[in-house]
Structure 1
Amino acid sequence: MENLFIYLESCTTCQRILKELSLPDSVRLQNTKEHPVSLEQVEFLKEQSGSYESLFNRRAQLYRSRNLHEKELSENDYKELLLEHYTFLKRPVLIFNGTAYIGNSKKVVAAAQTAVAND
């Protein structure tokens, strides 16, 4: 998997983290609204994180508006939703040297910064 930063251009948190990371030119930027994640990317991220559910953004407005919070979703449901609409992917995602850093928690961002700095 190539080095990639998957983000939402309109997300201020993604923009802040992108600036903090000081990514090398080898990292391709992918605005998930314009270029949604592919099946291959979702499957790679699932391998890295352990489940499709762990990639899922429960803060997405569609999650509530579709009443998904009231349903029991299967792993396959999560996979289909991730592929269906960009807003369901937890973001940002940095794929760097074969490792995925998923989400915006301080711990994840710090690990991504360390990986980029040590490259």
Structure 2
Amino acid sequence: MLIPLLFLAAGVIIGGWYGVAYWIYTMQHVYTDDARIKGAMVSISPEVSGLVRKVHVDEGSFVSKAMVLVEIDQEDYLGQLAQAEASLEGVRTQLLEAQRDLELQVLRNEGEVA
């Protein structure tokens, strides 16, 4: 009967010692994991996707409307723009050829009718 009481007493003493040590530790250290502050948090997303070249703000910084937050690498977009301009020029050439073909066909039809 004495041995179980000794184990119980030892457990209470050890548990109490750890509890007091933990309480003293928490009184001397600040935890911010669950800290809350009032503030407006909004989600942001870029208008275009791409590789970020430079970040102008730090996490938690105050930002305002129309403020540049990051710079996105333009090389992909400049390449796509050049490709689109070349494609546009090709379509314009096709349009001119189609208009000439139409005019030629109209003249042929007028010649057949007359």
Give the TM-score taking structure 1 as reference length.
0.17
Higher strand share: 1
Q: Which has the larger radius of gyration?
A: 2
Higher helix share: 2
Q: Which has the higher contact order (CA 8 A, sep 6+)?
A: 1
